[in-house]
A = this chain, B = another copy of it.
Amino acid sequence: MKTHDETTMSLRLVHSAFSREQALTDLDSFRRELAAAAAHTYTLTERVPLHNLTEWRMDRRDGVIRHRSGKFFTVQGIDVDVAGAAIPHWDQPIINQPEVGILGILMKEFDGVLHCLMQFKAEPGNCNGIQVSPTVQATRSNYTRVHGGSAVPYLDYFLDRSRHRVVLDSRQSEQGSWFLRKLNRNMIIEVSEPVEVVEGFHWLTLAQLNELLFTDDVINMDARSVLSCLPFTDVVLDQHGSAHTMVDLLSWITERRSTVDVTVRQRPLHRLSQWRYNGAEFSHVNSRFFDVIGVRVEARGREVGQWDQPMLAARGTGLVAFLTTRLDGVPHVLVQARVEPGFADFVQLAPTVQCIPDNYRDAPRADWPPFLADVLDADRRTVRYDAVQSEEGGRFHHIRSRHLLVEADAVPEHPDFRWMTPHQLTRLLWHSNYVNIQARSLLACLRAVTSVGPVANPRPAAAAPLGRAA
């Protein structure tokens, strides 16, 4: 019964992923509406010194930046020890937002094809104003109305699921270097009853979403996260040969988690040894990683017209990349077991490469992270996907990552790396704390390549000069 249902759902998802023509919405007019919406719904975001924020203050006793209501999130300092690591000790600011929010996509079948209800959403940190977000993107503060905004459309489908079908419902982590133990509930709900479409919402097939994933900064991070969780799995596909059995992969993860020796201690922001307040922002002494900035936001077309808040701002564009290969004809990606201080279990599965290349501009290649050179030196004909995607625009100011999928030879494994099938990653997404947001985002892109094909990729996939997107 259950297995049958699972296989059926997987086949319906595959059908939607190949349904470009049978869609309810025309993609060209969707793009025009997106452009039009960006013209009249936007946020004006102005950088202001942190100490000029009106709603936020740093408490001098514990060095934590808090909202005056005590709600939303805080920015605090942490001191990290990772015994035996290449960088065994550092300190840094980090966002603490312990509430579990909801990122939800509503699905419904039209003419036999599953569609996703997607939202135009402006976020203050977006480099381009509006991006395409899940149906619902609600922090707990949002839906308990701490900031007095209006009700979140469609939220009830996710809170009361008795009349609907749950396709997936799992808590997933966010950036473990920027968030302390943050989890959001990623949900996909299928409804069969009629759904009224509110302005700014559109029904898209997975094929259309996949096509949009080939354009920079269109599908927002939360949408990529939920899309990555789609259960494209079934018993038949799982029987294909993978390099490692699931038992062996889980044992590898258990080993890493059991033996890593990480200590994270809270430390006041103004006592961090490697960070300085320059009168406006907290920055790393070597001007690397990110800055903690203040912003004043004026929004048009959002629930609340005006507010200010701290954000993290980028120092250079990130790079996330999977090496991909075929082993005995079966597609695999090279997955890294990566330590990030904000993860509940410290270790999660990450892309082959995840870094800010600018940080290594002056470093000898021997000091580069593993496989960074393989990705940056790759022959353009081996690049299957190349687009820049935005990180979440509610907390991050213009933070973007180049996403690359590079076909490679079956390089030998390394204690921290394993070849896994995309299906094995997908299986783990039924559970929390296995696959990090960067790997999930790339998994969504990988599925897009599989259904749309690399031919749709408009970017000349040249070997990227280091730090090209800075």
Task: Using CB atoms and an 8 Å cutoff, list the residues of chain A in contact with chain B.
Answer: 1-6, 100, 161, 166-171, 185, 231, 235, 238-242, 245-248, 250-251, 254-255, 257-258, 344-345, 430-432
Which of B169, B231, B255 is the one whose CB lies under 8 Å from A251?
B169
Distance (whole angstroms) from the CB of A233 to the closest CB of chain B: 11
**Is B245 within 8 A of A5, CB to CB?**
yes
Which of B168, B239, B251, B432 is the one whose CB lies under 8 Å from A247?
B168
For residue A421, which residue of chain B has the nearest CB? B2
For residue A231, which residue of chain B has the nearest CB? B247
Q: How many copies does the complex hold?
A: 2
Give CA–CA (A245, B95) in the complex, Å.
Answer: 36
Which residues in B have their C-beta under 8 angstroms from that of A432? 345
**Is B3 within 8 A of A238, CB to CB?**
yes
Other 5 A-B pairs with CB < 8 A, given A1-B241, A2-B246, A169-B251 = A168-B247, A171-B258, A185-B254, A231-B247, A250-B431
Which of B5, B185, B238, B247 is the one whose CB lies under 8 Å from A258?
B185
Give CA–CA (A4, B241) in the complex, Å.
Answer: 11
Q: Pick 15 A–B contacts, CB within 8 A, sort by A.
A: A1-B241, A2-B245, A4-B239, A6-B245, A100-B257, A166-B247, A169-B247, A169-B250, A169-B254, A169-B255, A170-B250, A185-B254, A231-B247, A250-B431, A431-B431
User: Provided the pairs A2-B238, A100-B258, A258-B185 are in contact, do residues A167 and B247 lie with their beta carbons within 8 angstroms?
Assistant: yes
Give CA–CA (A169, B241) in the complex, Å.
Answer: 21
**Is A235 within 8 A of B171, CB to CB?**
no
Give CA–CA (A6, B5) in the complex, Å.
Answer: 21
Give CA–CA (A4, B245) in the complex, Å.
Answer: 11
Which residues in B have their C-beta under 8 angstroms from that of A251? 161, 166, 169
Give CA–CA (A250, B185) in the complex, Å.
Answer: 12
Give CA–CA (A88, B378) in the complex, Å.
Answer: 58
Which of B185, B235, B239, B255 is the one whose CB lies under 8 Å from A1?
B239
For residue A255, which residue of chain B has the nearest CB? B169
Give CA–CA (A395, B241) in the complex, Å.
Answer: 45
For residue A238, which residue of chain B has the nearest CB? B3
Which residues in B have their C-beta under 8 angstroms from that of A240? 1
Which residues in B have their C-beta under 8 angstroms from that of A167? 247
A-B complex: 3 closest residue pairs judged by Cβ atoms: A169-B251, A100-B258, A2-B245
Give CA–CA (A318, B99) in the complex, Å.
Answer: 34
Give CA–CA (A240, B248) in the complex, Å.
Answer: 26
Which residues in B have their C-beta under 8 angstroms from that of A2? 238-239, 241-242, 245-246
Which residues in B have their C-beta under 8 angstroms from that of A169? 247, 250-251, 254-255
- Interface-central residue, A4, A5, A235, A247, by most chain B CB under 10 Å: A247
Give CA–CA (A316, B23) in the complex, Å.
Answer: 65
**Is A250 within 8 A of B3, CB to CB?**
no
For residue A185, which residue of chain B has the nearest CB? B258
Distance (whole angstroms) from the CB of A430 to the closest CB of chain B: 6
Which residues in B have their C-beta under 8 angstroms from that of A161? 251
Which residues in B have their C-beta under 8 angstroms from that of A170? 250, 254
Give CA–CA (A167, B344) in the complex, Å.
Answer: 26
Give CA–CA (A356, B185) in the complex, Å.
Answer: 35
For residue A248, which residue of chain B has the nearest CB? B166
Which residues in B have their C-beta under 8 angstroms from that of A245? 1-2, 5-6
**Is A171 within 8 A of B242, CB to CB?**
no
